Amino acid sequence: MKVDALDEKQQAVADRVLDEEEADRAHLVVSLSGAHAYGFPSPDSDLDLKSVHIEPTARLLGLFRSAASPSRMEIIDGVEIDYSSNEIHPVLLGVLQGNGNYIERIVGALKLRAAPELDGLRPLCLAALSRRIYRHYLGFATSQLKAWEGGGKASAKKLLYVLRTTLTGTHALRTGKVVIDVTELLDEYGFGAARELVEAKRAGERSELPEETRERWDGEIGRAFATLDAAHASSVLPEEPPNADDLNAWLLDLRRSRL
């Protein structure tokens, strides 16, 4: 599946890697994550391939199972690849628990591979969104903030990851929609000035910010967390996912079809 965020060489490397991995497992979906999906790729950004695979039902019932979470990191033709995959069962449990990583794999916009069954799962995943996602996005943003505050170079990337996670979480809590590209959310939530960070990051993965820019954003970043907190307090989402039985039925149908 062609993705506009990738150039011809990146697309060819991604296709090569996924063809090789599909010799060992059947992908339900492969989503492009990281800077390419978040709206601020640079020429040296790696390809972050986050996958969900389906273990054959007969293998689940038998003695020998595949590795639970296969991963692969390497550089091919100058393109850095970071591939990982999780089986559909823990992924769906994670969706119910509000795990944004798994939710984004299923409903994210940039798909490199998708099996026909994904069409039936996407609306169920969106219907399963609950206020539990607040914990995920708050935790992710907090860890990124620690990296930002931890000293060393003041990179645009670290700060953009804080904004990306707080604003994706905010938007999901307010609207029930999952938008991963932070550039689509900046203006809506009053962070249009962050486009200077986007431009800096697009210039290079390790672009360092001037001290004056860092100081200005040190005073702004708390507002991103306050925005997330406010969205949680007034969220349109239910406290708990309402359709666990529907997801269970979908998985049973999938297992039967793959026996």
Q: What pLDDT is recorded for position 203?
A: 85
Q: Are 87 and 54 within 8 A, CB to CB?
A: yes
* The pTM of the whole model exceeds 0.85: yes
CA distance 98 to 14: 28
Backbone φ and ψ of 130, nearest 5°: -140, 175
CATH number of 8-128+243-257: 3.30.460.10
- Return per-residue pLDDT of the chain as tens, 259 residues: 677 888 899 999 999 999 999 999 999 999 999 999 999 998 888 999 999 999 999 888 888 777 678 999 999 999 999 999 999 999 999 999 999 999 999 998 899 999 999 999 999 999 999 999 999 999 999 998 988 777 666 688 889 999 999 999 999 999 999 999 999 999 999 999 999 999 988 988 777 788 888 888 887 899 999 999 999 999 999 999 999 999 999 999 999 998 8
Q: What pLDDT is recorded for position 151?
A: 64
**Phi/psi-derived region of residue 39, left when phi > 0, alpha when psi is between -120 and 50, beta in every other case:** left
CA distance 70 to 205: 26
Residue of 186, 188, 178, 189 whose CA lies nearest to 197:
186
Write out the two tokens for 199.
Answer: 């431009």
Element (H, E) at 83: strand 79-87
Q: Are 84 and 68 within 8 A, CB to CB?
A: no
CA distance 93 to 176: 19
Q: What pLDDT is recorded for position 152?
A: 63
CA distance 236 to 36: 29
Q: Which whole-number Å values give the CA distances from 222 to 102, 142, 162, 225, 258, in the listed order?
A: 26, 11, 10, 5, 48
Q: Which residue is it, tokens 């804080």? A: 162
Where does the chain have alpha helices with state H? 8-21, 34-38, 57-61, 88-97, 100-107, 118-127, 133-149, 156-175, 195-203, 211-218, 221-233, 244-257
